[in-house]
Amino acid sequence: MDDTSAVPNAWNTAQPLPGSPPDSSDRRDVIDTPHGRYWELSESGWDAMLGYLADPSTLARYAESRQHQVEVTVSDSTGERTFRTPRTSEDQAIIDEAANSYLHDLGLPERPTGYRWFQRLPDGLTVKDIDEAVYAAIKNLPPDHHPAEAVPAIHAALVKLYRER
């Protein structure tokens, strides 16, 4: 990995999100706060990587207090029923472990649990801009590359994108 190991752990240095986020947001939604525009990183390892590799000073966290719901479909002799039920702590642990396993494979620190994670967006920048810059940075890697091989290119693309603003 390039110079990302020389910086403090961005998860530990993340500031509290200024204000309260909406209860739910789409990955590409922009959240306006008194101190800037943010996007909410999904619970995926991919978004955790993006948040971590961009400028660490742009990372923010907010204590997770929502009760997530999961959709369950049951098929039996009476037919098929779909309903929503609260996500269990075991379900959440599986989600967190999957994201942290991905980060580990990349050589990045695990993301602490119990938080929603956000990234400040420079003026004029959108999540679509981030996605496009990242995909352009890795488009020439072999299709079967190990995810860690993409980290230097992704980090460079994010640093460039954030410095241009």
Q: In whole angstroms, give the CA distance from residue 150 to residue 80.
A: 43
Q: In whole angstroms, give the CA distance from residue 165 to residue 160.
A: 9
Q: 39-43 contacts: CB < 8 A, separation 24 or more?
A: 39/118, 39/119, 39/121, 39/127, 40/116, 40/117, 40/118, 41/117, 41/118, 41/119, 43/95, 43/96, 43/99
Determine contact, residues 155/53, Cβ cutoff 8 Å.
yes
Q: For the segment 84-117, what is each residue's pLDDT rounded down to a tens digit?
A: 888 888 988 999 999 999 999 999 999 999 999 9
| Polymer length of the chain | 165
pTM of the model: 0.82
The C-alpha angle with vertex 37 and arms to 132 and 96, in degrees rounded to 5, equals 70
- % of the chain residues with pLDDT over 70: 95
pLDDT at 4: 47
Please identify every stretch of the chain with a pLDDT value under 50, giving residue numbers as ranges. 1-4
